[in-house]
Amino acid sequence: YEAGERDAPVSVMVKLAKLGKVSLDRLLTTKILLEDLDTPDQEKSQSIIRNAEVIGGGIEEGRLMFKGLLNDNLVTNNKEEQKLLTLFRKANRSNREKYLLDLEWRFNNTRRSRITTTKKISRKLEKAQTAVKLQKLAKNIKKITVRG
């Protein structure tokens, strides 16, 4: 690929994009000048994007990736999500990390999550179920070997 005889592996292209601090899309589709490498992809994204081509994500996922932009753009479906996202964006880095930890803890420790966990069965019952499965498997093996 260095001599132009074959394509570069994807892993090399990803490493080059990270090294140059540019998006992989920008690396592959646009000509990069030396001046562009000073502060690539650091400008604020426009508040209004014209003729943007969506290359990833979706409204169901809550994020969109546009061609030529480095970061994902988060989108909301309703006012509550919009308010939560706005408050999160206004918070500083340490508060964001705390909020995420608290949210994750609450999600994992709610009543719903306790209900959805698998119920523990006794060791004796587990052995009995395994024995039944093995007996069925043994019968099927006998049938297969007799026929073959």
Supply the pLDDT for residue 44: 57
| Mean pLDDT (10-residue bins), the chain, 148 residues | 79 85 79 63 58 77 76 79 86 86 82 64 88 83 60
Q: Which helix (H) or strand (E) holds 25?
A: helix 24-29
Record the pTM. Answer: 0.36
Alpha helices in 58-122 (DSSP H): 79-90, 93-108, 111-116
Residue 40: predicted pLDDT: 47
Query: CB under 8 Å to 23, separation ≥6 — which residues?
Result: 17, 41, 68, 69, 70
Q: What does the pLDDT read at residue 138?
A: 80
Q: What confidence score (pLDDT) does residue 143 get?
A: 62
DSSP 48: S
Residue pair 56/64 in contact (Cβ under 8 Å)? The answer is yes
Q: How high is the pLDDT of residue 113?
A: 56
Question: Residue 129 and residue 148: Cα distance in Å, rounded?
Answer: 29
Q: Which two tokens stand for residue 86?
A: 């706005």
Are the CB atoms for 37 and 43 separated by under 8 Å? Answer: no
Cα 55 to Cα 29: distance, rounded to the nearest angstrom:
13
Integer Cα distance of 31 and 45 in angstroms = 20
The pLDDT value given to residue 7: 84
- Given this model, what pLDDT does residue 139 score? 78
- Counting Cβ atoms within 10 Å, is residue 13 exposed (0-12), middle (13-18) or buried (19+)? middle
